[in-house]
Structure formats: structure tokens, C-alpha cells
């Protein structure tokens, strides 16, 4: 995998993958959204409000998955000094933050009819809120220093330290008494959710994943080009300063 750590090589690969991931996103959403909102049956207890699940659950999956991506990219940047690691972490973090916001908003919309409140200090809700703060902290640190390398190193350390929150989110319903139900899809005994609801949920999960891959490839390319542009401007500025005295003497 080390040969893909070269940003230019990764961008060439990403350029080939991007049309496929974008097309897959559109296709899966075109299948998943009508399936989830119109075809899938309502829940016998929650009624039609259960349809929020088809956005809320994939968004929650992606919030954790994207942070895992940020932490893995940060580790590669700190340990192996791969420049691509910092690029991926920078590109992925804002996307993960928006997935986390979507998780919290849809969770509140779902919680109001189910629990009678927009927000409760439930272990899972609180840990997801902490995840949002970790994303925001990562974004802020990466841009907090004039020296981009210092900011990226500080952000990478935060990403690795904050990764402990991901398993807390996953298993909070097992470790503490929470209002959230235990896992019904990824469990040892197999999914407990009915196939009529499971399949559209999985399709929406795949659609969100393809959407993330598409955004990541686009943002990595944007970050890479932005760095090249900044480096070019600094080079031109340095050359201008070096040539200025000579020009002054000639005049």
C-alpha cells in the first residue's frame, strides 16, 4: 500500500474511481430512497416515524467510519510520514462533521415522538456530541498555525487520542443503561431487524458510503491543488524578494 501513499499516484487512481463512485451514489440513492420511504413497511410500534432510521442510522455509521478514516490517515502521517495521510485527514474531517450533525438532527427528530423529548443526556447521544466536538477540534487545529505542518501534527494527535470515543459510541448501549436499543444489524447472532427493513437500510448505508468516497476524492484533489498553488506563490514571492535588490541597483 506504500506505493499509493504518493499523492500524485493516488490522484490518478482517484480520477479513475471518481466517476464510478459518483454514479454508484446516484444509483443507490435512486433505489434506496423510494424503497425506504415508500416500499418498506412501517414499524408496528413506531409507525411511519421509523423511516427516519433510513437516514439516521447510515449517517451514524458514516460519522464513526469517517472518524476512523481520519485517525488511520493521521497515524500514517505521524508514523510513516506519508504526506497523503494529512491530505486525507484534512479532506475527510469536514465531511465527517456534517455526517455527525445529520446524525444528531435526525436523532432529535426521531427522539421527539419516541421519547417525548428532542434531547436527553443519553450515553450514546452524549458520545456522538463529543464526536462532533472532536471533528471541530481537528478542523480548527489543522488551520490554527501559520506553519501547516505543525497544525496537521497537532490535529493528527487529537484524532488518535479521540479515536477512543468511537468504540464508546458503538458499545455504549451495552455498557450503560440507555434509551437506545441494542445493535440490531451488526450483532453476533445476525441481524434482528426484518429483511423488509434491513435491505433498504443496507442500500442507504452503501449509498452514504459511496457518497463519502466521492466527496473524499474530490476534496483530496482540491487540497492537493491548493497546496501546490500555495507553494508556487511562496516560490514566486521568494524569487521576487531575491530579485528586488538587483533591480534597485540597476535603476
Q: Which grid cell is 159?
A: 484524532
Q: Closest Cα partner for 199 from 185, 214, 216, 215? A: 185
pLDDT at 148: 78
Does the structure show a pLDDT above 60 at 137? yes
Q: Is 241 within the bounds of a domain?
A: no
User: Structural domain tally of the chain?
Assistant: 1
Q: Is 163 within the bounds of a domain?
A: yes
Q: Which grid cell is 67?
A: 472518524
Q: Which grid cell is 239?
A: 524569487
pLDDT at 237: 66
Q: What is the pLDDT of residues 83-103, one digit of tens each?
A: 888 899 999 999 999 999 999
CA–CA separation, 142 vs 158, rounded Å?
A: 10
Q: Is 2 within the bounds of a domain?
A: no
Here the CATH number for the domain that contains residue 71 is 1.20.120
CA atoms within 13 A on the CB side of 227: 16
Does the structure show a pLDDT above 70 at 244? no
Q: What is the pLDDT of residues 29-85, one digit of tens each?
A: 999 999 999 998 887 778 788 899 999 999 999 999 999 999 999 999 998 888 888
Domain coverage including residue 81: 21-174+192-236
The pTM for the full model equals 0.85
Q: What is the pLDDT of residues 138-191, one digit of tens each?
A: 999 998 887 778 888 999 999 999 999 999 998 877 676 666 666 666 554 556
Task: Determine the longest span between alpha carbons in the chain, in angstroms.
Answer: 87
Q: Is 61 within the bounds of a domain?
A: yes
pLDDT at 145: 82
Q: Is 10 within the bounds of a domain?
A: no
Does the structure show a pLDDT above 60 at 227? yes
Query: What's the chain's average pLDDT?
Result: 84
User: What is residue 43's three-state secondary structure?
Assistant: strand
Amino acid at each position: 500500500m506504500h506505493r499509493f501513499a504518493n499523492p500524485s499516484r493516488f490522484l490518478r487512481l482517484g480520477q479513475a474511481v471518481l466517476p464510478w463512485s459518483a454514479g454508484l451514489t446516484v444509483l443507490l440513492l435512486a433505489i434506496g430512497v423510494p424503497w425506504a420511504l415508500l416500499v418498506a413497511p412501517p414499524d408496528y410500534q413506531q409507525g411511519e416515524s421509523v423511516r427516519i432510521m433510513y437516514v439516521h442510522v447510515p449517517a451514524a455509521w458514516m460519522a464513526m467510519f469517517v472518524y476512523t478514516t481520519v485517525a488511520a490517515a493521521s497515524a500514517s502521517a505521524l508514523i510513516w510520514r506519508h504526506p497523503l495521510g494529512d491530505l486525507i485527514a484534512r479532506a475527510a474531517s469536514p465531511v465527517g462533521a456534517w455526517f455527525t450533525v445529520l446524525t444528531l438532527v435526525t436523532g432529535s427528530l426521531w427522539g421527539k415522538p419516541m421519547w417525548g423529548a428532542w434531547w436527553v443526556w443519553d450515553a450514546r447521544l452524549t458520545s456522538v456530541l463529543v464526536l462532533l466536538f472532536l471533528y471541530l477540534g481537528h478542523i480548527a487545529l489543522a488551520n490554527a498555525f501559520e506553519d501547516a505542518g505543525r497544525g496537521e501534527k497537532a490535529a493528527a494527535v487529537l484524532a488518535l487520542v479521540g479515536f477512543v470515543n468511537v468504540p464508546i459510541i458503538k458499545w455504549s448501549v451495552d455498557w450503560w443503561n440507555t434509551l437506545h436499543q441494542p445493535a440490531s444489524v451488526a450483532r453476533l447472532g445476525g441481524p434482528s431487524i426484518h429483511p423488509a427493513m434491513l435491505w433498504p437500510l443496507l442500500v442507504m448505508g452503501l449509498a452514504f458510503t459511496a457518497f463519502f468516497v466521492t466527496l473524499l476524492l474530490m476534496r483530496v484533489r482540491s487540497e492537493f491543488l491548493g497546496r501546490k498553488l500555495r507553494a508556487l506563490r511562496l516560490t514566486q514571492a521568494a524569487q521576487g524578494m531575491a530579485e528586488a535588490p538587483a533591480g534597485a541597483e540597476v535603476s
